[in-house]
Structure 1
Amino acid sequence: MFSVTLQSVWKNIYRQKRPWKRHIFLLFLVGAVSAPISYYLLHRFAIGIDPQNNQCLPPYRIYLVDKYDKVPVKGKPFAFESEYIRPYGKGIKMIDGVAGDTITVTPEETTVNGFMVGEGLELTRESGHTKEELTRTGVIPEGRIWLMGRTKISFDSRYWGTIPESQILGRAYPIW
């Protein structure tokens, strides 16, 4: 019959322990490999979260921001910083216009090169402007971009105009 005592179990466990020097070597090896990889990933990527009740790019709320990808691409979401976005100073919007594009903003719609990219001016009062002040047509200058949300109540370039490309933080990839 097989008999197990606490003392026999303890002896088996004690015999299977590795020397402490091997543990230190493995710990150093894991740290040496994971530290540069972690640094690279944390330096290159960031997580962007849209805390608003009314999202400007539904249905997504969480984004992975690639801080090394800053070349503006029309129709793609990008993270940016701007003094117009309060209280956070950072936002994620779609780039709908780049240098050379013709922008037309009216109370009914916003167009880029004749294609509608937004409707209305729902936040006119909150922006501190009148619809007449916001109605305009122009060409986006070199080094600037036009950013838009995908809802009528998105606070975007309709209200504050273009921003410099230097304020792009990186391309945003929707996660959830």
Structure 2
Amino acid sequence: MNSIKLKSTIIVCLTLLGLYGLAELFFARFTFSFPIFQDQCLYAHMFIVDKRDKDIKRGDLVAFKFNKEDKNFDKGLNFIKIAAGVPGDEIKFSPNEMFVNRVESKIAGMTHAINFLQLNPKEYERQITLNENEFFMVGETIYSYDSRFWGPINEEDILGKAYAIF
């Protein structure tokens, strides 16, 4: 009888140890993100971030560290936005439209954010070409405060690809 209890205990311990190991592997690679801002820039409320996948392509959701000096957000915050531009892309934008490599983007205009922040719309008419290690990040709602305001982010600030869960 003791032999059966010992085997059962060993099986339970090994199972728990295996589950713990799987959880460790999962959380070493992935993390969850829950944006806390009232006015979202993406139409999702929960994301999973793959910290090992940093092969970013245009259109990917990307988690990154905000390493810009900005009066509206603290340096060091983590953001999730859409990579609208990748290295080498030409970005042209104004408050009402945006073009990536001369193709019009379906990204929402930035007039709402400009008015809310009481900014001069003329200051947000630009054309830039992204350098080798730069990405242009945007949101998909009228509330998005993104690269159109603070410029491209550096590749070294990318935390990983993000996936909307709901």
Taking structure 2 as the reference length, the TM-score comes to 0.83
Match of 2:144 in 1: 154
Q: Within 2, Cα distance between the matches of 1:66 and 1:47?
A: 9
Match of 2:79 in 1: 91
**Structure 1 residues 71, 31: CA separation in 2 closer, same or farther (over 3 Å shift)?**
same
Match of 2:45 in 1: 61
CA apart distance, 1:128: 7.8
Equivalent pairs counted in the alignment come to: 160
Contiguous gaps of at least 5 residues in structure 2: none
Q: Within 2, Cα distance between the matches of 1:150 and 1:72?
A: 18
Q: Within 1, Cα distance between the matches of 2:54 and 2:164?
A: 16
Pairs within 5 Å for 1:61-140: 61-84=45-68, 85-86=73-74, 89-114=77-102, 115-116=104-105, 117-124=107-114, 130-140=120-130
Q: Which moved more, 1:115-124 or 1:94-103?
A: 115-124
CA apart distance, 1:155: 0.7
Task: Give the RMSD, CA atoms, in angstroms.
Answer: 2.5
**Runs of 4+ off more than 6 Å:** none
Q: Within 1, Cα distance between the matches of 2:117 and 2:132?
A: 26
Any conservation in 2 of the 1:111–1:118 contact (CA below 8 Å)? no
Match of 2:20, as an amino acid? Answer: A
Query: Is it true that 1:172 corresponds to 2:158 in the alignment?
Result: no
Match of 1:64, as an amino acid? Answer: I
Match of 1:46, as an amino acid? Answer: T
Taking structure 1 as the reference length, the TM-score comes to 0.79
Query: Is it true that 1:32 corresponds to 2:17 in the alignment?
Result: yes
Q: Which has the higher contact order (CA 8 A, sep 6+)?
A: 2
CA apart distance, 1:45: 0.8
